[in-house]
Structure 1
Amino acid sequence: MGQKLRIVLVAALWVTVAVGVLKVGRAAAGSGEAGLAEAPARVQQEGVQEGEANLSVEQRVDKIFAAYDNTRSPGCSLGVIQDGEFVLKRGYGMGNLEFGAPLSPESVFRIGSTSKQFTAASIVLLAEEGKLSLDDDVRQYIHELPEFDPPVTIRQLVHHTSGYRDYLTLMDLAGKRDADYYTDEDLLEMLSRQRQLNFMPSSRYTYSNTGYWLLSQLVKRTSGLSLREFAAEKIFEPLGMENTHFHDDHTEIVPNRAYGYAPTEDGGYVISMTTLPMIGDGGVFTTVEDLFHWDQNFYGPAIGGPEFLEQMLTRGVLNDGEVLDYAFGLGHGTYRGLKTVSHGGSFVGFRAEMVRFPDERFTVICLCNRGDANPTRLSYAVADVYLEERLEPVVDTGGDDEAAAGEEDTEGKPFVPKPEELAELVGDYYSEELDVTYALRVEGQGLALESGLASELSGSSGIIFAPVEADVVKYRFLTLRFQRDSAGRVSGFELDAGRVTNLSFTRLP
């Protein structure tokens, strides 16, 4: 009846969640292939500072990346495009620490969710070819999915308004890690077991990697080509992106590949990669040099034509008429008064950002191979240098921290259930949707999830869920809402976890 999940494994989910907080229209927090990070309100410390007046533009940019510019750590590759040509392209840090290979504009990076624009572009091209319609029911092509009323459309997958639960979060909750291996078939089988959506389609926006993975399956089922093959034939090869592909085989040798790394507590690094073959929500391997060609297609399209570009920039709309910032794998925004079009990416040891200022014909591409990098912030710091004469002045709101520190704590006393009330929640609970069993026991004044894999994770004390009200316990982003039958006995609970809500668990005898 499935495996018992050790709560320590779930803890990894919350690390991922912290990396991938998004906000577009009505935002949601989540995990995994993250993207579309908000532009920082200001990058004050990265602008012109005392002593920089005599530095060249290039020297000021080098200063932004100074902490990465050494032979002892991974780092970032940078490309700055102005009026159709590179005005700067550099590598800072190492692409492979074992072999001492430095990063360069030709280094090949995994770019996480920055890949989504290429998936969306493939769907737009298929719609132009008449192979599908954006308003088709997804189940018309992927019949294995459960039926919902109203049905989910392809357009809703594109704009993250489908309501589908995020598959990376589902797999985390089922005990799978980014380092584990599972297949497209395993994933589709998991999705076929889902009995609910997070919300009614187009009633909300919640970023979902499931939607873009399903788009990759739609490409295959409507064109007869895998997304990798289709994007190569229709996008990458026509644009001359010779070192770009959707990476669907983790055993494949990729020349000039940058390895992904995660920092350790002692100041070192460990390799942080994945064996997962899923593409669509992420999976593109590319270079700063190649992304130049994609950027230029938005000014003089070599593929798709004007209608293609217009569709790529078309924003999603909710049922209530609210217009989202999210378009087709691209997010609209503003930074210090200037319009932007961008998308970030974050997966395992890679971080990416590509932000275009269309009215200025200016783009920053920042690809990093270290999990602690913030390429969004770095990219806007670079924009501060090049566009300083066009950007609106930074408004320092000052004093916010002091004001917040002086606010009175209005939170009430913690909810403390009676021991017998907490004891009623103890038991084994099974989720058909995850095919996993959670075992709960009392730990102090809270509930702990017992281990089904203790021998593999010895030494961990687990995570304690704190009661927040009657029959509700919470740990960070994880909430369990217990249900009772007509006789008042606990019969199960529903679980909420960021990009996954209302997962049903039934109490076992």
Structure 2
Amino acid sequence: MRPLHALLLLALWVLPGRSAHAQTPRGPRAQRHARVDALFAPWSGKATPGCAVAVSRDGVLDYARGHGRANLEDDVPITPRSVFNMASVTKQFIAFSLGLLVQEGKVSMDDDVRKHIPELPDFGTRRTVAHLMHHISGLREQGQLMALAGWRGDDMTLDADNWWVLTRQRGVNFEPGAEVLYTNAAYGLLGVIVRRVSGQSLRDFADERLFNPLGMKDTRFQEGAFAVIPRRAIGYAPDKSKGDWRVSMPQSDGSGSLFSTVGDLLKWQQNQLDGRVGGPAVRALMQTSGTLNDGTVTGYGGGLRLTEHRGLRTVGHDGMMGGFRTESVLFPDQRLSIVLLCNSGSIPSSELVWKVADVYLGDLMKAALPPAVALPEADLAALAGNYWSPLTDEVVRLEVKGGALREVGGAKDFVHMGEGAFRPGESPHVWRFAPPRPGAPRELSIRDAWPTTRPFIRIDAPPPTRGELMAFVGQYRSEEVEMTYSVRIVDEKLAVSWPRRGDVFLEPVGGDRFVGSVGAVSFTRTAAGGVDGLLVSSRRLRRFRAERTGLETRLSRP
């Protein structure tokens, strides 16, 4: 960046009421910038997508640069004014909008969701606005439901589509308040409540009450999926077959269509410190964690993760949608804001944002994660296999590859931390193996970003014979997504297919249980032993059922 350009950006982006001569954090500015630049060097060329990055302290801009290309076809560089899809960073804006309505007495956090959305099915237990906001409602994940309804990853998905699938559901993942499990469905419904109670569209409400008062001129909800957005960054994904890039731009509207820039998000984060809009009451609502029925603190507030990084308190959120990866992190005690917006899903944005934080606040932080504890490869091999969770019906598969334990198909080596505990790469998630017990299956517990621990047991079973596979062949119907699934034997493997999805091959786990890219698939039987249905389960979807309707005898492709 040219020096004059940098000075102009600084002059434009210093937030109201803050001096450009205020103390900046940690060391010479040029040295900090060089270290941040080095982090993004792999994505700074003309033939790669990249990121816009901005850092401020107490409202004073310290760093704002673009790395890589916003548009590869036209060789348009990313700049601090490039506009990105916010993905799940959007959730804090929906929560804030709702908080304003709560402050005005128009909504209560204890309201039954069906008071505002009577079209939502009655699942037998009262679910509140707070349950939605804190991801403890137990509602199923809409994205995985849409996939089972035939949507593809880059398809256009409108609020009306999500509404269609959510209002058809008959089952849930768990009772409200029993667990915490992230779900986009909850915030889609909160967006509906904001619209209905305010009598305005999300765009009009947010423009009037949030963006205009804060001077966020490049931020808005798009009401149409194909709106023209000046300076928009295009999302990309690697095209592995060609060693190049392909466009990855899922289209949406309403609650999934917020666009913004790094500069505007710094203004937004400053408001989280100062409360100029919303005041202390809304800020407290946003930054107060939800709790489970047993009193466990979830670490999630109003569209914000309330965590820590190397001993320092953090408030923020990440997002992923198609080719976009977004990160907003605030260190409230140090009044440091970091925003990272990227236009490729292959960029490790979550790792990068914490490395930027280390550049600015490393001297104040605790030591990084402890080093690995060596474990013989034979001991690792003893942990490999298929593990099933009786709580969630998920299946995880572990293998030893390159001398390290990892998930089958995963990219991260597991790091042994001692006493049977592992972490995937630099992740804070903990996979803990219980000591083996004679005659009992191996046990595993997984704790990720949420305080709910998922138990798993290893299933050791021989693969099914062709005759046993034949029992599963047939047609299965779900009225919850109005879809029929065909289960066949293809090239001596069980496969499930449905319109627009093609064959999903199912690997045997044991008995009536299989696993594939769709998740875990378990077949159910009648009292007489006949197969009468199947259940699909994944991280955010439990026991989605399809009833068997007929028998398909075709054994291979036509």
TM-score (norm 2): 0.77
Q: What does residue 277 of structure 2 align with?
A: 303
**C-alpha distance 105-404 of structure 1, shift in aligned 2 (>3 A):** farther
**C-alpha distance 239-415 of structure 1, shift in aligned 2 (>3 A):** same
Contact 2:326 2:340 survives alignment (8 Å): yes
CA distance in 2, matches of 1:395, 1:473: 35
CA distance in 1, matches of 2:498, 2:109: 45
Describe the superposition over 1:151-196 as per-residue Cα deviations: whole angstroms up to 9, x where unpaired.
2111111111111111111001111023323443333222121101
Q: Is 1:435–2:482 an aligned residue pair? A: yes
Q: Is 1:269–2:242 an aligned residue pair? A: no
After TM superposition, list the pairs within 5 Å mapping 1:461-500 onto structure 2: 462-475=503-516, 478-500=519-541
Q: What does residue 468 of structure 2 align with?
A: 421
CA distance in 1, matches of 2:139, 2:61: 40
**C-alpha distance 122-391 of structure 1, shift in aligned 2 (>3 A):** same
**C-alpha distance 339-451 of structure 1, shift in aligned 2 (>3 A):** closer
Q: What does residue 68 of structure 1 align with?
A: 43
After TM superposition, list the pairs within 5 Å mapping 1:148-227 onto structure 2: 148-227=123-202
Residue 453 of structure 1 deviates from its aligned partner by: 5.7
Q: Is 1:328–2:302 an aligned residue pair? A: yes
Contact 1:356 1:363 survives alignment (8 Å): yes
CA distance in 1, matches of 2:93, 2:39: 29
Q: Considering only aligned residues, what root-mean-square deviation do their CA atoms show, in Å?
A: 2.3
**Bigger share in strand:** 2
Residue 489 of structure 1 deviates from its aligned partner by: 1.8
CA distance in 2, matches of 1:223, 1:55: 47
Q: Is 1:91–2:66 an aligned residue pair? A: yes
Q: Secondary structure at the match of 2:273?
A: coil
Contact 2:484 2:498 survives alignment (8 Å): no
Q: Is 1:501–2:475 an aligned residue pair? A: no
CA distance in 2, matches of 1:452, 1:367: 34
Residue 399 of structure 1 deviates from its aligned partner by: 3.8
Q: Secondary structure at the match of 1:503?
A: strand
Q: What does residue 248 of structure 1 align with?
A: 223
Residue 450 of structure 1 deviates from its aligned partner by: 4.4
Could you tell me which runs of 5 or more consecutive residues in structure 2 were left unpaired when the two chains were aligned.
1-25, 386-458, 551-558
CA distance in 2, matches of 1:404, 1:335: 31
Q: What does residue 367 of structure 2 align with?
A: 393
1:118 paired residue among 60, 74, 93: 93
Contact 1:228 1:246 survives alignment (8 Å): yes
Q: Secondary structure at the match of 2:126?
A: coil
Q: Secondary structure at the match of 1:463?
A: strand
Residue 111 of structure 1 deviates from its aligned partner by: 1.4
Contact 2:488 2:496 survives alignment (8 Å): yes
Q: Secondary structure at the match of 1:123?
A: helix
After TM superposition, list the pairs within 5 Å mapping 1:345-364 onto structure 2: 345-364=319-338
Residue 295 of structure 1 deviates from its aligned partner by: 1.1
Contact 1:178 1:276 survives alignment (8 Å): no
Q: What does residue 261 of structure 2 align with?
A: 287
Paired residue type of 1:134 = M
TM-score (norm 1): 0.84
Paired residue type of 1:447 = L
Residue 497 of structure 1 deviates from its aligned partner by: 2.6
1:368 paired residue among 332, 337, 342: 342
Contact 1:262 1:370 survives alignment (8 Å): yes
**C-alpha distance 215-307 of structure 1, shift in aligned 2 (>3 A):** same
**C-alpha distance 260-443 of structure 1, shift in aligned 2 (>3 A):** closer
Paired residue type of 1:503 = F
Residue 422 of structure 1 deviates from its aligned partner by: 2.4
2:382 paired residue among 404, 409, 424: 409
Could you tell me which runs of 5 or more consecutive residues in structure 1 were left unpaired when the two chains were aligned.
1-47
Describe the superposition over 1:4-33 as per-residue Cα deviations: whole angstroms up to 9, x where unpaired.
xxxxxxxxxxxxxxxxxxxxxxxxxxxxxx
CA distance in 1, matches of 2:271, 2:115: 32
**C-alpha distance 450-388 of structure 1, shift in aligned 2 (>3 A):** closer
Q: Secondary structure at the match of 1:79?
A: strand
Q: Secondary structure at the match of 2:333?
A: helix
CA distance in 1, matches of 2:181, 2:188: 15
Contact 1:355 1:363 survives alignment (8 Å): yes
Paired residue type of 1:275 = Q
Q: What does residue 388 of structure 2 align with?
A: none
Paired residue type of 2:477 = Y
Paired residue type of 1:483 = T
Q: What does residue 81 of structure 2 align with?
A: 106
Contact 1:123 1:215 survives alignment (8 Å): yes
CA distance in 2, matches of 1:418, 1:243: 60
Contact 2:328 2:340 survives alignment (8 Å): yes
Residue 356 of structure 1 deviates from its aligned partner by: 0.9
Q: Secondary structure at the match of 1:298?
A: helix
Q: Secondary structure at the match of 2:177?
A: coil
CA distance in 2, matches of 1:191, 1:243: 32
Q: What does residue 228 of structure 1 align with?
A: 203
Residue 268 of structure 1 deviates from its aligned partner by: 2.1
Residue 275 of structure 1 deviates from its aligned partner by: 2.2
Residue 395 of structure 1 deviates from its aligned partner by: 4.8
**C-alpha distance 403-157 of structure 1, shift in aligned 2 (>3 A):** farther
CA distance in 1, matches of 2:199, 2:285: 23
Q: Secondary structure at the match of 1:176?
A: coil
Residue 476 of structure 1 deviates from its aligned partner by: 5.1
> Looking at both structures, which has the greater relative contact order when contacts are Cα pairs under 8 Å and sequence separation is at least 6?
1
Q: What does residue 117 of structure 2 align with?
A: 142
Q: What does residue 448 of structure 1 align with?
A: 495
Q: Secondary structure at the match of 2:176?
A: coil
Calculate percent identity across the aligned residue pairs.
39
Residue 394 of structure 1 deviates from its aligned partner by: 2.9
